[in-house]
Structure 1
Amino acid sequence: MTEEQAKELLQKYLDQQASPQEQKKVEEWYTTLHTKNGIVPPYRKARIGAQMFAQLQVVMGNEPKTGRILKFLPFISVAAATFFMLTIGITIWKLNTKVSSENQLTIITGSKQQKRITLPDGSVVLLGPSAKLCYPKVFASNSRQLELKEGEAFFDISHQEKRPFTVRTSVGLNIKVLGTSFKVKSYEDSKQLEVAVVTGKVAVSNQKGNLGTLVKDESLTYDKNAGRAAIRKIKAPAFIEFAFDGTSLDQVIAKLGYVYSIKILLSDKSLGKLKTTASFSSKQSPEEILDIICSLHHLRFNASKNHKTFNIYR
């Protein structure tokens, strides 16, 4: 790579226009020059492009524009050894840059950026700022696994009973679900990791075993240093919208079952083939939704005393 190409790449990084692969190259170059363990703390990511771009401009005889660079750094001291370090850095970068697996995708967001990602199974991830998510282009036939390496993400998971969904985190915690929506907040420079369930149920575990099972409107806070977890009720519950477009009643009740952690039975299996087109919100109670669905198909339903089991019949 020529110095001009390196300059162009760093400018793209600074403007948050670099692809995930290009961002990775810049950060690997940076860690080679500046860190011992090869890890870039999230609070320094926004400064990487500015610092390296300024150094490169000095090497090439270009004075950096102070208004642009000093926005990120109050002052950059460049010693005479900078040229030598950059030359070595570029060489190491070219020799050590690894090509990502053909089956693996990595999404990285900027410090003020958010992204909506649709996964191969139809699940949706809303990725917050300064986040990094790795997932396969195609999930395995018997499981769905991805890794949230950094940041905050909201997951709305497509229900597939035979393929459980697992979110792995950089601190060794795994969040396992079948079909639900939840939020994970995991920053490297934070002492805590948080999992909050909007609908459904998730199980959180580490290498020592299960830390807790969360249901709707519950959150788990994990203390990284102490290795302890605490579960509490969410003070301000979040809500999601979900819609059915010509969906079979079998699929509808499966979705509702995981959204509300309830069991819905059909008195006649043939009812499961009925098609439903309607939109709902998790603000609504399961009774309210079932009342609407049954009205559409001229059906009836009843509930158990604890309102955890429902039976639909003609």
Structure 2
Amino acid sequence: MKEKDFFDLEKETLLIKYTQKQTTPEETRQVESWLKESDDCQKESDILRQALELKTKINEHNSFNSQEAFAEVNRELEKRNRRRSLVNYLSRVAAIISIPLLLSTLTFGYLFFERQAPAIESSVQFMEVLSAPGMVTRLELPDHSKVCLNAGSTLRYPTVFTGNTREVELTGEGYFEVQSDKEHPFFVTTKSGLKVMAHGTQFNVNTYDEREEVEAILVEGLVDIHSYDKFIAGLKPGERLSYNKRTNKYEIRKVNIYENTAWKDGKIVFRNTSLDDVFRVLDHRFNVEIVLHNQKKDKEYNCWATFTDETIYQIFSYLEQATPIRWKVNAMKQNSDTTFAKQRIDVWLK
């Protein structure tokens, strides 16, 4: 692997370290040299600084009052009158800041607020939280239930739960710690029509669009699974329900809870995991596109490992030792809208 294959990524990493005042004297001189020589580099550094300042503000509100947060941000948006520009800007920042070296420690998300059109009796306010690619975002709901959103996931929920139920909409993957309230059951709804109902429990739901199946894993307590409001099954701790979105069929089996939920603690855990599943997890975690070539259908290679703060390169170096693969990192490409495309990693079986 030649050093030039990593240049773009290493440059982004040094810029972030420089912005956080974590560079060595030699690295500082190198970055300052870049900034003097390139206006684009200076602009990128300014964007990263603003993104990290926003991340700090979000962390300060780790356990925020959702109503007050909504009102505060809404007043700011009205004052600036540029909500759409803000969303576009943050999308760009999310793409630039998603550097694998920081993915295990940096929590970044942005909030997008919207108002539902006024109903006959009253208007309902909703909050939508997006966990940027390569990041894990933690939040607290109005009922004090806690949620961890995996990379590229979205959660939509009302700023105040009203009526007889507490209902949220999930796209992607989320880990839920639901406050007990038997009078007001908690529902996680998905695009597939699958709903997870709980009163007070902990569970994980995986509903990424590219997956053929929606998965619900119960950690503790009890949950009921519904499909289009029809009860289909109940789960016990340690069980996973896999629901096929195309056939509407499902199966329940025992699984390793730690392997399937360690992502919320910044870990990547593989337990006899196929290469396809390994690469799918790494895709989301590091916001990259991994393309597996010349896959051999008659052979299956599995992986057993635990990663914490390793970079994508360190992980692939391990995989190269454990499985017969070779790999190549392609240079990052900038889109016409100034965002960056996902970094592509090509993998070949030997």
Question: TM-score, normalized by length of structure 2?
Answer: 0.42
- Larger Rg computed on CA atoms: 1
How high is the TM-score relative to the length of structure 1? 0.46
Question: Which structure is richer in relative contact order (CA contacts within 8 A, separation 6 or more)?
Answer: 2
**Larger helix fraction of residues:** 2
